[in-house]
Amino acid sequence: MLEDTLVVWGGEFGRTPTTENGDGRDHNHHGFTMWLAGGGVRGGMSYGETDEFGFRAVENKVHVHDLHATILHLLGINHEKLTFHYAGRDYRLTDVHGRVVQEILA
């Protein structure tokens, strides 16, 4: 089933390794985890790394546009051609950025 199914797990943001006011960990957009399986993703690997504190991505950073481009690629959609017309201009989910992260593909 995983040959034909892409599983994506994640949240809208990461969590800091500490808290500033004791009410739980703070939001962190500098380093967070997404989990992908099946659907053409290479299994048994991790890609990217945060600093030793777990606060900031330091190796193999993947921008949200890269994530979107990669997911669309795995679904068979060219992210550069997927556009919608609004206010007299063509827009795309990956804006003018985004690269398919080839290193994680099977």
pTM of structure: 0.83
Sorted by where each begins, the domain ranges of the chain are 6-104
Residue 17 and residue 25 in contact, taking contact as beta carbons nearer than 8 Å: yes
* pLDDT at 17 > cutoff 80: no
Question: 94 exposed, middle or buried (CB, 10 Å; 0-12, 13-18, 19+)?
Answer: buried
Tens of pLDDT, residue by residue over 49-71, are 988 887 888 999 999 899 999 99
What sign does the CA torsion over 52, 57, 59, 60 have? positive
